[in-house]
Structure 1
Amino acid sequence: MNGLRLAIVNWRDPWHPGAGGAERYAWELARRLVLDGAHVRYVTSRARGQHRRDRVDGVAFIRLGGRFTVYPLVLLWTLLRRRSFDAVIDCQNGIPFFTPLVLPRRVPVFCLIHHVHDEQFGLYFPRWLAWLGRMLEGPVSCWAYRRHAFVCVSLSTLNAVRERLGWTGSAYVVPNGSNVPNQGTAPGMQPPVGDPELVCVTRLVPHKRPSHLLDLAEVLVGQHPGLRLNVVGDGPEAPRLAAEIARRGLGGVVVAHGFVPEATKAALVARADLHLSTSQGEGWGLSVIEAAALGVPTVAYDVEGLRDAVRDGATGWLASPGEDQAGVVERALKELADPERRREVAAACREWAGAFGWVGTADRWARLIAAAVATGSAASEDRRAHVVRRCGDGRPQVVEGPVRDLLLAERGGECPPVVREAAPLERLLGRPCVDAETGAAGG
């Protein structure tokens, strides 16, 4: 990456009041690519009070426009500097920035997609604007990026862009990382004493469905009068959540903490018996992995993204969309009442979370970008990922897209490196597995 000039265009930066997991991903990637020698400009919107220009950890921030005006302003900014980049990461948070329309064809563009928004547009916008959003996210995006590539953060998102957006081009998988410290004083190492403590870390927005947490608490408190549910996070639904807690008389059961410092958040999660997610769909589920890093399993719905982040029966439990989540929580608590099972689940959680780190995420991106610049394209004719074996040391690795294409071209037919097509779990982890079907990691 030494000397490569990159632009990361994203709706928000990590200090924006509405920032979430997508901004965390973009920021962790940007700062680590700088450490790898790249020159990175992060182009985004500007919230009230933010500087128009800034530099943090070597990343140059350029802030332009607001919620909607950021899109044409970023496109104009890119047009005026179209020969100043070796590659662009164009983050699609519902709709992308359509940077290929103003960049030279030789500049590789990766359209980063966390999750498909088609079903969510109707929750936030009037019908005509929701229709426009779906058109821009689907048919228009597929046309604009046809010579480039999508990068998805999970297998669920990869399937969604194929099936729901109709994307037929190149698409790669680079998941989120996690940098929550592994707490040696593992939660759940001892059986619970008294009534359970639950936690949910989430942005309080409509598609996260915070009201479902109150439904769940109302059911569970009948069996566990001392139940406590900590809700950590802020957002536009916070006032409504507070009002509903008071209306339902759950003030002694559900505690809405709002935004809290990272150390406080980690402490609240670490002492919980279970972490909860009521979201109708995610790209991945960063809070799930952060809870797992602390040894805390998650109960979530079996929906996109969360079915990737939660290993059902191992690092948590998944409720089918029509299933009563409270019943799944009860079943999980009964299992965790057994000390041996509790230790087993906590260990599995930490092992699973340990497979995902921001250093690994940035390394996979660096290889993709460098190979795309070297080959002159982010796209590849082969849409699969493969397990290959290095010459000399015989070590296997998982590669896809321009990384694989460049590797095969350099080998020139000597020491054929392709072993087999990578299994889905191997594609997610970015490395071979001992048993890719059961999910046992190794290699």
Structure 2
Amino acid sequence: MRIVVVNWRDSGHRFAGGAELYATRIASSVAGTGAEVTFLTARDVGQSAADRIGQVAAVRRGGRWTVYPWALLWLFRHRRAIDVVVDCQNGIPFFSPLAVGRARVVQVVHHVHHDQFRVHFPAWLAAVGRWLEGPVARRVYRNAVTVAVSPSTVDAMRSRLGWRGPVHVVPNGADPAPADLPPRASEPTVVCLGRLVPQKRVDRLIDAVDVLRHRLPGLRLHVVGGGREEAALREWAARCGGAVVVHGHVPEAVKSDLLARSWLNVTLSDGEGWGLAVIEAAAHGVPTVCRDVDGLRDSVRHGETGWLMPRGAVVADVLLWALTELADPATASRVAARCRDWAARFDWDDSGARFASLVEGATAGGWLPGMPEASVAEFTPRDVPRRPGARVGPGWVLVEQCRPGDLLVSLRAAGAEDVTVRAASATERLLGRVGDQSFGPVPFGQVPSLGEDHRSQPRS
């Protein structure tokens, strides 16, 4: 198969983030099946117009905004040599179905930008963005196979974008943490890992640490990552008496050491498709405090691998409560073990195989409003018929975007006995397997009352 992956940036771009890692790893996985894969993306300063990323050919055209018309032109010119387009949407879609004719399109949605457009653009331009992401995209991609990276992203597509087509879930994978890591710091240490952009609201975390540093002597915040806000955040951190260090981009070994020494990871983003940094921290045994928003509510298991904070919460109070609980070595050890167990369930090879299965055989039909997004059938163990995207284990099969009645009839026709069909849980759908047992919440004390924080005025 000849496959083109279209993404705003590639992993070598100076502003690359989780979406770029996902696109790069998925492209490599699909190439590993023997497909001929091209990665079509923007060209950053210092990048060549064409080269290779492992088994994948990279083609770079245009910049932040001009990549969209350049990509459509390139796809149109090469449409007869393309079998499948993997179209990665980062707010504004590429609208590849308009250029590729009969080629199949698999659309990838990381998260819904509907509410974030107003953060970055004036009102009129934000309205244009919402129109393109919603009504226009629904029309253009109506015959595409759509993939989201988390169940809550699917929910947001249904509720905010009015998406009515089938949406499959293929989560991000994770890399294991290095084996030889330093011990946890003796003083309360917080890390914030990710791109430094306005919607991450790192300035509000710095404000909270500035409030707490007088109550928790030795408190440190390490901000790791780069982005447009880096210089401004360095200035903002300078007033915190050395309690906050903005590192910028650091080598992987340095990042792992900082994570391993930390007690807690914090992200105050107002929405994500997933929490790649959350899982990376969990792999190092570090829990996360974050807002209860799209994506993050899937990557954090509340009360087990971290805590979900409702909007309007007093950030400083929640941090103080979490750090106080984690000061107990026995509690911290239990939480760390549960974090590592959770992170170990995500694997890039498995995600790549799930995506490749959809590329090979999934179709856009099969879902109706009100139907479960994914169904689980449990039955007396025996061989069952395979279907693209289905996950099969001993005595169960998990299928997305399939009418429960059709699944029941299919299994009974194949000779399966004692068949029961139910809706899959969000965790089952995310992990692609049945029988995941929750290890139960850690017996923490009462969470403090959460209300509006009026003690500090955030910069943005």
8 Å CA contact 2:110–2:149 kept in 1: the answer is yes
Could you tell me how far 1:394 is from its partner in structure 2?
Answer: 4.1
Question: Where do residues 361-400 of structure 1 align in structure 2 (5 Å cutoff)?
Answer: 361-372=351-362, 377-381=363-367, 384-388=373-377, 391-392=382-383, 394-400=394-400
Could you tell me how far 1:207 is from its partner in structure 2?
Answer: 0.3
Deviation per CA, 1:357-402: give whole Å up to 9, x if none: 1111101101111122xxxx34434663222467338442422248
Cα 1:163/1:438, change in 2 over 3 Å: farther
SS at 1:88's partner residue? strand
1:343 counterpart = 2:339? no
- Could you tell me how far apart the structure 1 residues matched to 2:320 and 2:207 are? 14
- Match for residue 207 of structure 1? 199
- Match for residue 432 of structure 2? 430
Deviation per CA, 1:269-311: give whole Å up to 9, x if none: 1110111111111111100000000100011111111111111
- Match for residue 79 of structure 2? 82
Deviation per CA, 1:39-83: give whole Å up to 9, x if none: 111101111221111112110111111111111111111112223
8 Å CA contact 2:29–2:356 kept in 1: the answer is no
Q: Which of structure 1's runs of 4+ aligned residues deviate more than 6 A?
A: 402-412, 436-439
- Could you tell me how far apart the structure 2 residues matched to 1:385 and 1:121 are? 30
Cα 1:411/1:319, change in 2 over 3 Å: closer
- Could you tell me how far apart the structure 2 residues matched to 1:262 and 1:409 are? 50
Question: Where do residues 150-169 of structure 1 align in structure 2 (5 Å cutoff)?
Answer: 150-169=146-165
- Match for residue 114 of structure 2? 118
- Could you tell me how far apart the structure 2 residues matched to 1:13 and 1:65 are? 13
- Match for residue 138 of structure 1? 134
Give the letter aligned to residue 38 of structure 1.
A
1:7 counterpart = 2:9? no
- Could you tell me how far apart the structure 1 residues matched to 2:9 and 2:406 are? 33
SS at 2:43's partner residue? coil
- Could you tell me how far apart the structure 2 residues matched to 1:185 and 1:409 are? 52
Which of 190, 193, 218 pairs up with 1:226? 218
Could you tell me how far 1:245 is from its partner in structure 2?
Answer: 1.9
- Could you tell me how far apart the structure 2 residues matched to 1:178 and 1:117 are? 24
Cα 1:170/1:405, change in 2 over 3 Å: farther
Cα 1:43/1:306, change in 2 over 3 Å: same
Give the letter aligned to residue 84 of structure 2.
A
Give the letter aligned to residue 424 of structure 1.
A
Please say which of residues 355-364 and 337-346 is displaced more in the overlay.
Answer: 337-346
Which of 23, 26, 29 pairs up with 1:29? 26
Could you tell me how far 1:180 is from its partner in structure 2?
Answer: 3.3
TM-score by length of 1: 0.89
- Match for residue 277 of structure 1? 267
8 Å CA contact 2:289–2:309 kept in 1: the answer is yes
Please say which of residues 382-391 and 271-280 is displaced more in the overlay.
Answer: 382-391
8 Å CA contact 1:152–1:173 kept in 2: the answer is yes
- Match for residue 173 of structure 1? 169
Cα 1:134/1:121, change in 2 over 3 Å: same
- Could you tell me how far apart the structure 1 residues matched to 2:280 and 2:214 are? 30
SS at 1:46's partner residue? coil
Deviation per CA, 1:159-183: give whole Å up to 9, x if none: 1000000101111111111113264
SS at 2:262's partner residue? coil
8 Å CA contact 1:233–1:258 kept in 2: the answer is yes
Cα 1:216/1:407, change in 2 over 3 Å: same
Question: Where do residues 42-57 of structure 1 align in structure 2 (5 Å cutoff)?
Answer: 42-57=39-54
- Match for residue 235 of structure 1? 227
Cα 1:394/1:155, change in 2 over 3 Å: closer
* RMSD (Å) for aligned C-alpha atoms: 2.6
Deviation per CA, 1:404-435: give whole Å up to 9, x if none: 99999997932259742322221111111245
Deviation per CA, 1:16-48: give whole Å up to 9, x if none: 111100000000111122122221111011112
TM-score by length of 2: 0.86
- Match for residue 359 of structure 1? 349
- Match for residue 129 of structure 1? 125
Please say which of residues 147-156 and 412-421 is displaced more in the overlay.
Answer: 412-421
Could you tell me how far 1:214 is from its partner in structure 2?
Answer: 1.3
User: Unpaired segments of 5 or more residues in structure 1?
Assistant: none
Question: Where do residues 62-101 of structure 1 align in structure 2 (5 Å cutoff)?
Answer: 62-101=59-98
> Identity, % of aligned pairs?
47
Which of 222, 231, 240 pairs up with 1:250? 240
SS at 2:5's partner residue? strand
8 Å CA contact 1:108–1:378 kept in 2: the answer is no
- Could you tell me how far apart the structure 2 residues matched to 1:171 and 1:208 are? 26
- Match for residue 313 of structure 1? 303
- Match for residue 447 of structure 2? none
8 Å CA contact 1:187–1:346 kept in 2: the answer is no
1:324 counterpart = 2:314? yes
- Could you tell me how far apart the structure 2 residues matched to 1:291 and 1:241 are? 22
Cα 1:184/1:341, change in 2 over 3 Å: farther
- Could you tell me how far apart the structure 2 residues matched to 1:314 and 1:436 are? 9
- Match for residue 59 of structure 1? 56
8 Å CA contact 2:374–2:402 kept in 1: the answer is no
Could you tell me how far 1:150 is from its partner in structure 2?
Answer: 2.0
Please say which of residues 77-86 and 393-402 is displaced more in the overlay.
Answer: 393-402
1:300 counterpart = 2:290? yes
Cα 1:205/1:434, change in 2 over 3 Å: closer
